[in-house]
Homo-oligomer: A and B are copies of this chain.
Amino acid sequence: MYATVLHGPGDVRYEQVEDPKILKPTDAIIQLSATCICGSDLWPYRGLSGTDGPAHMGHEYCGTVVEVGSEVRNIRPGQFVVGSFVLSDNTCPHCDFGFQSSCVQREFMSGVQAPYARVPLADGTLVATLEMPDANMIPHMLAVSDVLGTGWYGAVAANVREGGTVVVVGDGAVGLMGVMAASQLGAVRIIAMSRHESRQKLAREFGATDIVAERGEEGIARIMELTNGVGAESVVEAVGMEESMKQAIGACRPGGSIGYVGVPHGVSFDGQEMFFAQKRMLGGPAPVRRFLPDLMDRVLAGRIEPGKVFDLVLPIDQVAEGYKAMDERRAIKTMLKVA
């Protein structure tokens, strides 16, 4: 088959590779319904995180099971499935505790920017629907796999509560999904920090009640104005840079919570500053598996349309243009049509 391979910074190719096959009895092979490009794919694309040789790209996926290994019990060929970008057995103590992204057998998915893919730990990782969803559901189901699941985790890690006030730092796809999650979790005040008109519009559509375009100290001052000098009880940090992290800490009230889901790059914290800031912090790769059944139900019930975050849809053989558009911030997030 053909698949997406990153050969070096800026060099993404859709080229012939070996077909995926069952390697372990706990594997499944799926035929992708659609896939997409993640903000985190841009780190190696930009040469900001190293790769050893050509890398098979892609970790967000949904599709139809075509084959399962001999030990797979919960999933069978013909089912439509969504899986997390983190593979987990869903039975170990960390999975039981709701942190499947720290599963003792954890692996990170890769190679799904392709028509077919191997999914290790299929029983633990994949969640099947009862019926084949309508085609118009595919973008929304695909979004659950990582971008919504990650935004959702950010909101949960930030202890978003019914009636609460939430600040979302970052207007990338994950930040926008954090807005949607905060809204679904019952927050009444959702302040999105965004400078881009198209993203502000989407943030409002997803539930943002206020937009703050300022950044840094000015941004924090604006949040304080909007919260009567108190700050927000919940802050979702969805960028991972030093400035955005400072903004998150500054926007949060003492005793409030920060869920940080942008992988930190070049960020460090001074212990004594953190101590006196007195803010609860939880980050990490999202345990999407914990949220999958609930989020898939919300999608199928028509309560959320997270697929709206895809503002560029391309046939998969134009994947290179998809990366380019996101790199140049012409697109928030690119969906790749496989069939």
Binding site for B on A (CB under 8 A): 93-94, 97-99, 101-102, 157, 228-230, 233, 240, 245, 253-255, 260, 263-272, 274-285, 287
**Option from B240, B245, B274, B284 in Cβ contact (under 8 Å) with A278:** B284
- With A94-B230, A254-B94, A267-B271 known to touch, is A279 a contact of B282 (CB < 8 Å)? yes
Chain B nearest CB: distance from A171 CB in Å?
20
Across the interface, which residues of B come within 8 angstroms of A275, CB to CB?
260, 263-264, 283-285
Across the interface, which residues of B come within 8 angstroms of A255, CB to CB?
94, 97-99, 102, 287
Copies of this protein, total: 2
Let me know if B230 and A93 touch, CB within 8 A.
yes
Let me know if A277 and B284 touch, CB within 8 A.
yes
**Option from B271, B282, B285 in Cβ contact (under 8 Å) with A276:** B285
Across the interface, which residues of B come within 8 angstroms of A97, CB to CB?
233, 253-255
Q: In the complex, what distance in Å separates the CA atom of A279 from the CA atom of B99? A: 10
Across the interface, which residues of B come within 8 angstroms of A98, CB to CB?
255
- With A101-B278, A255-B99 known to touch, is A268 a contact of B267 (CB < 8 Å)? no
Q: In the complex, what distance in Å separates the CA atom of A267 from the CA atom of B268? A: 11
Chain B nearest CB: distance from A209 CB in Å?
19
Let me know if A269 and B272 touch, CB within 8 A.
no
Q: Which 9 A-B pairs have the closest CB atoms?
A: A264-B271, A267-B271, A278-B284, A102-B254, A99-B255, A280-B282, A275-B283, A269-B269, A99-B254
Across the interface, which residues of B come within 8 angstroms of A282, CB to CB?
278-281
Chain B nearest CB: distance from A278 CB in Å?
3
Q: In the complex, what distance in Å separates the CA atom of A233 from the CA atom of B93? A: 11
Let me know if A264 and B268 touch, CB within 8 A.
no
Let me know if A268 and B265 touch, CB within 8 A.
no
Chain B nearest CB: distance from A273 CB in Å?
9
Chain B nearest CB: distance from A249 CB in Å?
12
Q: In the complex, what distance in Å separates the CA atom of A306 from the CA atom of B94? A: 35
**Highest count of chain B CB atoms <10 Å: which of A230, A255, A266, A270:** A255
